[in-house]
Chain A
């Protein structure tokens, strides 16, 4: 991988979060977590259940407001009060439940809320949809991403498999020119072969220079596609390094707390 200029390399990272904390009643979900993500990064965010992975991603996506800490985009401090604001800044999220409308076709979902209208003035007045145009763009876009789905033009997404639906959700995020992609367990619901297809697609998105943060429980999957791995434990970041600098056994140690506490505190401050 040639363009592995991650956040610590030259230039400004697209996203930098600093000392983010979030408390739910008495539970400290995030405790001063910092993370940088830039072009070429595909960060695997791992940790046990309740380690704070989803909370961190939701803070970045504007769903939760942090109690403390700052979010920087291109080195500018920003406040994202709603998911909509985060999206306007180019942060797209593909959630576990995909947020697709089952009864619409692929093009309907791809353009959901941002439909192309046709028919001139009257068309805009009556909100007439450019159905052919949207189908055409959908076909081209899916071809570009090398996604093949039978019945792409004619079938509602409810008839599609989990893998195909995942591909549609990913394609939508990429299509809308996202600058940062957040993936929460994107392949957990998929079978083996579909998972490989989805992995290929994620790598392809990364090649386009879009940084990705990927939450996964599956270490095999993380080691297969990510180039950086960050480990959360009890709301703290205990490890953040390039894939080549570590191995699955060590990462499992960090996840479960098996690695000596002294070592943890040393890497946490680095």
Chain B
């Protein structure tokens, strides 16, 4: 073949170097089926969890008892229920900051409904329907109006809280029928209902995430939205579905929390969003989208619950919890960033 023109060659070479140099070796490291690979997918969460449990056991002898462990799990169950929805959203490069206010609003409306004699089955439908509705509203604001999820749900966070405050005006309603209380305080054998419900949600969420289009499209949309659009996936519709699903789970969590406290006031769920996002991020779901883990959500929430419970038993003040949450969020995201960089992706 003849000599190509110099200018053209230079051109091609420049383009070559401009691209990300992924194909240096041409080889792939097969590490998915190793222990390291498994730990990595869990965002290395298992080791810190074990270390924290050992450390806490040494700090307080009341920590590693069956009763306390059940307390810890029950404390994390609400966060797990909401976190499963958040994992789908974050995988698809979205986020919902309004979950705390939404839960407060649903608890306020449904709690008042039962307080004034509403039937239990209707109350359950009411809570779930409200969740779906509010989630769909969030999704519509993001997809129809094009407001970025962070700002859209920040706005709704303020609005939903305003709504429940306006509706209840500082009152507290309590003393619900025993069926509702059972959802939060009952047990199945030795296991408290909140844990049963949280595990059921986690198992269902994991099946949806790994075995259905639901999870597949969350990954596709979060990983490369343009490619998903080019492949003919109705991206906006799926985003709305993810928001609606998050709303549905908030509705379920609201019912459990109503039963657990047997009471509600307009301040319920304040700060829930931060706790949920920290746990999901700790569990290995990327805040930049494209990758997530439902089991990581369970582990992440458990780690936070173990830490706060242990610190409390060790005599640390209540506000230490918030200091810790903030640091954990920043730390886990920093870890995600550094690991993404280490793999050669920006």
Q: Which residues of chain A have C-beta atoms less than 8 A from B8's C-beta?
A: 217-219, 252, 255
Residues of A within 8 A of B222 (CB): 103
Within 8 A of B (CB), among A216-270: 217-220, 223-224, 247-249, 252, 255-256
Does B28 lie within 8 Å of A155, measured CB to CB? Answer: yes
A-side contacts of B2, CB under 8 Å: 219, 223, 247-249
Out of A49, A159, A188, A248, which one reaches B1, CB within 8 Å?
A: A248
User: B27 near A150 (CB under 8 angstroms)?
Assistant: yes
Q: State which of A84, A149, A161 has its C-beta within 8 Å of the C-beta of B22.
A: A161
Residues of B within 8 Å of A, CB-based: how many?
46
Interface residue? B4 (CB, 8 A) = yes
From A103, A129, A248, B213 is in contact (CB under 8 Å) with A129
The verdict on B16 contacting chain A, using a C-beta distance below 8 Å, is: yes
Q: What residues on B are CB-neighbors of A108 within 8 Å?
A: 216, 219-220
Instruction: Report the stretch among B67-75, B183-191, B227-235 that lies at the interface.
Output: B227-235
* Beta-carbon contact of A103 and B223 below 8 Å: yes
Tell me, in angstroms, the Cα distance from A113 to B229 when the chains sit together: 9
CB contacts (< 8 Å) of B9 on chain A: these are 218
Interface size on A, residues (CB 8 A): 53
Partner pick for B223 among A49, A101, A164, CB 8 A cutoff:
A101
Residues of A within 8 A of B220 (CB): 101, 104, 108, 112-113
Residues of B close to A127: CB separation below 8 A: 212-214
Task: Let me know if A201 is at the binding interface, CB within 8 A.
Answer: no
Does B11 belong to the interface (CB within 8 Å)? yes
B5 touches A161 (CB 8 A): no
Chain B 18-37 interface 0/1 with A at a Cβ cutoff of 8 Å (1 = within)? 01001111111110110000
A162 at the interface (CB under 8 A from B): yes
How far apart sit A256 and B8, CA to CA, in the bound complex (Å)? Answer: 10
Q: Which of A84, A155, A161, A256 contacts B26 (CB 8 A)?
A: A161
Q: Please pick, from B16, B30, B208, the residue contacting A154 in the complex, using a CB distance under 8 A.
A: B30
Residue A182, interface by CB 8 Å:
no
Using a CB–CB distance below 8 Å, which chain B residues touch chain A?
1-5, 7-9, 11-12, 15-16, 19, 22-30, 32-33, 208, 211-214, 216, 219-220, 222-224, 226-228, 230-233, 290-291, 343, 345
The 4 tightest CB contacts between A and B, nearest first, are: A113-B231, A161-B23, A248-B2, A127-B213
